[in-house]
């Protein structure tokens, strides 16, 4: 059974098109490594706190989390 993985990436100041292109490359990479990708690209409008809550719920259900380059520079990454 393939291990589940989610991808975290910076999205602040990046167009949706660029986000999805970068994400596709990452998805292809992790799938090529034998992981089962769990989609965490939220397509609903909400608050930062709600996005964080949903992300943590998903994080609890996967085996691994891949942090893409630049994630640590994400706006409000430590704010609630």
How many domains, the chain?
1
- In angstroms and rounded to an integer, the radius of gyration of the C-alpha atoms of the chain is 13
Residue 28 resides in a domain: yes
**Are the beta carbons of 1 and 64 closer than 8 angstroms?**
no
Residue 80 resides in a domain: no
- pTM confidence score: 0.77
* Burial (CB count within 10 angstroms: exposed 0-12, middle 13-18, buried 19+), residue 5: buried
Residue 63 resides in a domain: yes
What does the pLDDT read at residue 74? Answer: 66
Q: CB under 8 Å to 52, separation ≥6 — which residues?
A: 80
Look up the domain containing 49 and give its range. Answer: 4-73
Per-residue pLDDT of 1-48, as tens digits, reads 889 999 988 777 788 899 899 999 999 999 999 999 998 887 777 787
């Amino acid at each position: 059974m393939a291990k589940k993985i989610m991808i975290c990436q910076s999205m602040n100041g990046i167009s949706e098109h660029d986000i999805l292109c970068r994400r596709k490359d990452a998805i292809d990479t992790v799938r090529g490594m034998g992981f089962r990708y769990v989609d965490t690209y939220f397509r609903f409008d909400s608050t930062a706190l709600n996005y964080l809550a949903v992300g943590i719920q998903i994080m609890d259900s996967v085996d691994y989390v891949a942090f893409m380059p630049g994630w640590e520079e994400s706006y409000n990454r430590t704010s609630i």
